[in-house]
Chains A and B, each alone.
Chain A
């Protein structure tokens, strides 16, 4: 790179901070103590997700295991599959929560923060890629188990569609939240 271009970039960089019009939003220290950063909000989101998954394990087991009008083998299978699925969700979300929570912009070095942020983002999408097809298989299996009652099948399909819409919305919110971390 020739020196002329380099010095142009350097001088523009030095002046950059002074020529930006800044908002006159004054932050008081008492507000700062209570304010949350985007990273804090992401942590709270994972926190909510693992709590929700944990809370779902027992109720799904209780509900599915008490269904009378399907074959008992199916009932047993469903009462194992659903809690297991929520248990897996709980473990994954808890792990992501712990990981994201460990990112400390104040104490950690820049490369550590950068690699940790990239790592947990990648893991988040890997988990979605694994868990989403499994969820679809479980819904398919549930439909198969209830195939004798047409209304139950409609209810499952309806529930699955609603769940898919809610899940997609949450997924896109996560996508929006995560900036494209480049390698």
Chain B
């Protein structure tokens, strides 16, 4: 075995022996946890994360609120979304705007998250609506949006939320993994669907 290793190291060019390579790899691994730059980077990342969360908390909350059926649901979704944003931040290179990126991760979290179905849906919805600021005048509007959005399927729900937040068709298409024309067609259909639902609710 040793002879074999020596033979391999002899065959390496530029006098770099296998031993040298192994030694440098060992020290590289050893340094990984204690690298000064690494510490600075991780601190910067934490700062960046706190900034993003404080800036975009409202956005994350309203997406999670729209998918939630209860207060517990809402809090779990927010927590999961924040965890995923933290996990993704390390690889975020600014390919999309921050808002678009946050939208994608939060929507994906809400769509992939498994949640407990409430047994008393009406009561839990009442509690959820209790989170809306009591001084806010358009409380009913928010309840109405929640009800209308919740009747849509997941894909339409995601698209209409981004459209309501005035993301461009290109940004919506990028997040959805669709082409722009498909998104435009879908938005038109969803608007018609919402229109019908709006009428139903106003008759109710």
B83 close to A (CB within 8 Å): yes
Q: How far is the CB of A161 from chain B (nearest CB, A)?
A: 25
| Shortest CB distance B197–A (Å) | 10
A106 and B105 contacting across the interface, CB-CB below 8 Å: yes
Please judge, given known A-B contacts A114-B155, A177-B115, A179-B114, whether A12 and B138 are in contact too, CB under 8 Å: yes
CB <8 Å contact, A114 and B65: no
CB-nearest residue of chain A relative to B178? A111
B80 touches A15 (CB 8 A): no
What mask results when residues 8 to 50 of chain A are scored 1 for a CB within 8 Å of chain B, else 0?
A: 1111111111111111010101001101111101100000000
Number of interface residues of A (CB under 8 A): 54
Known: A20-B132, A113-B112, A117-B111. A37 touches B84 (CB 8 A): yes
Closest chain-B Cβ to A178's Cβ sits at a distance in Å of 5
* B136 near A111: Cβ-Cβ < 8 Å: no
Q: Name which residue of chain B comes closest to A109, CB basis.
A: B177
On whether the beta carbons of B141 and A111 are closer than 8 Å, the reply is: no
User: Is the Cβ of B155 less than 8 Å from the Cβ of A111?
Assistant: yes
Interface residues of B in 41-89 (CB under 8 A from A): 45-46, 49, 57-62, 65, 75-76, 78-80, 82-84, 86-88
B114 CB contact (under 8 Å) in A18, A105, A177: A177
Distance in angstroms between the alpha carbons of A105 and B191 in the assembled complex: 27
Known A1-B192, A106-B84, A177-B115; judge A22-B79 contact (CB<8 A): no
The one of A1, A17, A22, A179 in contact with B117, judged by C-beta atoms closer than 8 angstroms, is: A179
Among candidates B49, B59, B75, B154, residue contacting A182 with C-beta atoms closer than 8 Å: B154
Please, what's the 1-or-0 string for A55-87, where 1 marks a CB less than 8 Å from any CB in chain B? Answer: 000000000000000000000000000000000
Given A13-B164, A111-B176, the answer on whether A38 and B80 have CB atoms closer than 8 Å is yes
**Which of chain B's residues have a CB closer than 8 A to the CB of A36?**
83
Q: Which residues of B contact A111 (CB under 8 A)?
A: 155, 176-178
Q: What's the minimum C-beta distance from A155 to chain B, rounded to whole angstroms?
A: 36
Majority DSSP secondary structure for residues of A touching B: helix
Check A179/B113 contact, CB under 8 A, given A9-B141, A14-B165, A109-B176: yes
Closest approach, in angstroms, between the C-beta of B158 and any C-beta of chain A?
A: 5
User: What 1/0 flags go to B14-39 for Cβ under 8 Å of A?
Assistant: 00000000000000000000000000
Q: Is the CB of A105 within 8 A of B108?
A: yes
Verify if A180 is at the interface (C-beta below 8 Å from B).
yes
| Interface members, chain B 166-204 (any A CB < 8 Å) | 166, 175-178, 191-192, 194-195, 198
A181-B117 Cα distance, complex, nearest whole Å: 12
Q: A113 — which chain B residues lie within 8 A by C-beta?
A: 107-108, 111-112
Pick the contact of A38 from B59, B76, B148, B175 — CB < 8 Å?
Answer: B76
* Minimum Cβ distance to chain A for residue B110 (Å): 9
- Selected from B87, B144, B148, B176, the residue in CB contact (under 8 A) with A110 is B176
- Quick check: A110 and B104 within 8 Å, CB to CB? yes
Chain A neighbourhood of B49, CB < 8 A: 29
Residues of A within 8 A of B (CB): 1, 5-6, 8-23, 25, 27, 29, 32-33, 35-39, 41-42, 103, 105-114, 116-118, 175-183
Task: Sort A-B residue pairs by CB-CB distance and give the 6 closest, nearest first.
Answer: A109-B177, A17-B58, A105-B108, A1-B195, A106-B88, A12-B141
The contact sample of 17 A-B pairs, CB cut-off 8 A, is A1-B191, A1-B192, A1-B195, A11-B138, A12-B144, A13-B165, A15-B138, A17-B57, A20-B131, A20-B133, A32-B83, A103-B112, A105-B105, A106-B84, A109-B104, A177-B116, A179-B113
Task: Give 9 A-B pairs besides A1-B191, A37-B113 with Cβ atoms closer than 8 angstroms.
Answer: A1-B195, A12-B138, A12-B142, A14-B164, A20-B58, A25-B75, A25-B79, A39-B114, A106-B105
